Structure 1
Amino acid sequence: MNWKQAQKEFQNYLRIERGLAENTVQNYSLDLAKLIQFLDQYYEGINPLQIEPTHLYAFVHQLAKVVNARSQARIISGLKSFFEYLLIEDFRVDNPSELLEAPKIGRKLPDTLSTSEIDRLIGAIDLSHPQGERNKAIIETLYGCGLRVSELVGLRLSDLYFEEGFISVLGKGNKQRLVPIGNFTIKLINIYKDEVRVHESIDKSASDILFLNRRGKALTRVMIFTIVKNLAKAANLQKKISPHTFRHSFATHLLENGADLRAIQQMLGHESITTTEIYMHLDTSHLKETVLKYHPRA
């Protein structure tokens, strides 16, 4: 087995067997490419079946000199997945990455926006601009539904169940979930959909896509990042924000107002409750009130 064959088959395994999103598959592939580049430089001719732990230790040692702890941990995780794949498919009988240890990193608390900051951002949108109503609906959907940017750009007209108060979202690993949507967000989407989008020249490939660019095609992830960045500048907001900031704010504000953590987990599409629990660190003021109100010894 050569590296080119191994990379291709590993990608197919991630897509088909594990059902991972394309962005995740590409990230795993880039991590593997870093190892291949290192081996070409220091251990020329080593193929995936010949790698020993010492090769990987040398790679990790070199890696620590050029990337931060968080990036190291992600790359090591990707390599472990690759060698687990080789084991599962019986290409190897051992796992040379078994004893690799990722650097310990603290949980990074996500950045959030206050409701007034979100109002400032939305207020900075120029509604006289052809894309103004669209951008307003985009920001409100990110915040009102807690979507990932990939989920937003993939949102379809056929995913909107406004009468029932839900939208259908295709999340990580192609997992479908229903997310509640509020009346205010519905109103802004309908304004864009019925008063702006309907008059656009729409590409056949994007006929069912909700949010479109000026050419009538689906928006890219990069374009959403650009919209958010430009809005932050227009609102003179001194914070480094991204589309994901609205997702964090959605979860944080729900939690602060007494929402159940398990319900937030379902709405965000988190596979594990421990991922959602990070929001518990953002505001613990309500915890004391909960004990005082509900505990018999309070």
Structure 2
Amino acid sequence: MIKNEFTPKREIEIIDAVDEYLNEKEAIGILSPSSVHNRRYELKRFAKFCITHSIKLPCDIHKNIVISYLKHVKVSKSSKIGILYTLSGFMDYLIDEELILENIAAIIDKPKIYQPKTDYLTFHELEKIYQSEAQNAPSKVIDRNLLLFSLFTDICLRVSETINLKINDVRLDSKELWVTRKRGKIDKIPLNQDLINKFLNWYAIRPQYKGSELKWVFLSSHGQQLKPRQVHYIVSKALIRAGIIKRKQGPHLLRHSGASLKAQAGENLVMIQYLLGHENLNTTRRYLHFNWDDLKEMVDRSPVLSREQ
């Protein structure tokens, strides 16, 4: 009996299939422009590696070429896992297009990695940062920076969501903030009185900045929209000024800490997930922490079940 060989629906080279895949996913909104940019780099690098090994068509990709590619790229274990997931998404598309039979990347064993313990700030440490910033930062940036910090800790915004806030997104009359999430989704988030006051304080000094006519809420000292690296510098400098040193000193530490403190206070996990803008609750679980003393107290509170009648 002769085994039938797989015949792809059409002939297209791997490097061209990459463009088709990414253009389709971006057009229908499954991948953001930044995700497309990152995946294009990785998939084109894989395609070029295949070409150097005389593999041009998707149907010619085999397990050994994928493993050889993973060995070829000098990256960490966690990065190799990311590469496998990127290749797996691409191969799912190739299967749908009837260009390959099997998702090879999906069946390759993933390297085991052990995540380091994640840093987060206690309430006392957060207070220390706010007080240090209010007392020691240049007067022109105090209100801007304190508002930034509160948006990260109080409502757990991402850096990109924060710096892309427009004046019209801040609805102080209805006590709401309209936040543009990943993939262009818009969520409404309530504002408490402290956040409203911080917005008003910043708006009072904002006209002193060059570029105050711009639509962005947050401006740099040079009168332009704040950039992610500038926000990272602002937060990192505030942490150092307050004498707090963690492994990662950026704004995500504040966002992570705000979510963790809410979880420790017993707040609803689904509402924390909404604030964080996570589509998957398992992603939110990474933000949950406890300390050893709290765990011991919980065990001590367990009811005593006696066998005595």
Shorter-chain TM-score range:
0.7 to 0.9
Q: CA deviation at 1:109?
A: 4.5
Check whether the contact 1:146–1:251 (CA below 8 A) recurs between aligned residues. yes
Say which is worse superposed, 178-187 or 120-129, in terms of deviation: 120-129
How many residues are paired up? 291
TM-score (norm 2): 0.81
Q: CA deviation at 1:281?
A: 4.2
Q: CA deviation at 1:10?
A: 3.0
Paired amino acid for 1:9? E
Q: CA deviation at 1:248?
A: 0.9
- Structure-2 change in CA distance of 1:20 and 1:292 (3 Å): farther
Take 1:264 and 1:151, find their aligned partners in 2: how far apart are those partners? 16
Say which is worse superposed, 217-226 or 114-123, in terms of deviation: 114-123
- Structure-2 change in CA distance of 1:291 and 1:167 (3 Å): farther
- Structure-2 change in CA distance of 1:72 and 1:198 (3 Å): same
Aligned to 2:183: 173
CA shift digits 1:191-222 (9 cap, x unpaired):
112x2223333287xx3211112343321112
Paired amino acid for 1:255? A
Take 2:251 and 2:191, find their aligned partners in 1: how far apart are those partners? 18
Q: Unpaired runs of 5+ in structure 2? A: 1-11
Aligned to 2:242: 235
Q: CA deviation at 1:13?
A: 2.9
Q: CA deviation at 1:46?
A: 2.8
Aligned to 1:143: 153
Aligned to 1:39: 50
Check whether the contact 1:19–1:174 (CA below 8 A) recurs between aligned residues. no
Please tell me whether residue 198 in structure 1 is matched to residue 203 in structure 2: no
Please tell me whether residue 154 in structure 1 is matched to residue 185 in structure 2: no
2:128 maps to which of 115, 120, 128? 120
- Structure-2 change in CA distance of 1:76 and 1:281 (3 Å): same
Check whether the contact 1:162–1:186 (CA below 8 A) recurs between aligned residues. yes
Paired amino acid for 2:56? I
- Structure-2 change in CA distance of 1:212 and 1:254 (3 Å): same
Rg: which structure is higher? 2
Aligned to 2:88: 80
TM-score (norm 1): 0.84
Q: CA deviation at 1:151?
A: 0.8
Take 2:176 and 2:48, find their aligned partners in 1: how far apart are those partners? 47
CA shift digits 1:98-117 (9 cap, x unpaired):
32222123455532111222
Paired amino acid for 2:109? E
Take 1:7 and 1:153, find their aligned partners in 2: how far apart are those partners? 32
Q: Secondary structure at the match of 1:187?
A: helix
2:286 maps to which of 270, 278, 286? 278
- Identity in percent: 23
Q: CA deviation at 1:154?
A: 1.1
Q: Once superposed, what is the RMSD of the aligned Cα atoms?
A: 3.0
